Amino acid sequence: MKVEILEQRLSSDGYAGEQGDRLTVPDDVGAKWCGLGWATDLAGVVATGERRVIDARLDVQSAVSGHAAKEV
């Protein structure tokens, strides 16, 4: 499937590109990207879904291991 990327940057399923790039990807990858609103199908067969942005926040905690490093 030939798609045009709608995101500023897209790196997914082993492919990477920027907004306006046109790529040929496997049909399942193209359908996924189009369904998520990340790309548009240049043939017009698969509809472009609505891109959803969620306000997700990560609470990153530092991790400390109680184990000493092993000498090699």
Number of structural domains the chain divides into:
1
- Domain membership of residue 7 (yes or no) is yes
- Domain membership of residue 13 (yes or no) is yes
pLDDT score, position 61: 83
Coil vs helix vs strand at 27: helix
The model's pTM is: 0.73
> pLDDT for 35-47, tens place per residue?
999 999 999 999 9
| Structure confidence at residue 56 as a pLDDT band (50, 70, 90) | confident
- Domain membership of residue 52 (yes or no) is no
Q: Which of 35, 32, 15 is nearest to 24 (CA)?
A: 15
- Domain membership of residue 66 (yes or no) is no
- Domain membership of residue 69 (yes or no) is no
> pLDDT for 57-71, tens place per residue?
888 887 776 777 777
- Domain membership of residue 63 (yes or no) is no
Domain ranges, residue 37: 2-41
Residue 6 to residues 41, 59, 70: CA-CA distances in angstroms? 11, 29, 47
pLDDT score, position 29: 97
- Domain membership of residue 48 (yes or no) is no
Enumerate residues 6+ apart whose C-beta is below 8 A from 35.
46, 47, 49
pLDDT score, position 3: 98
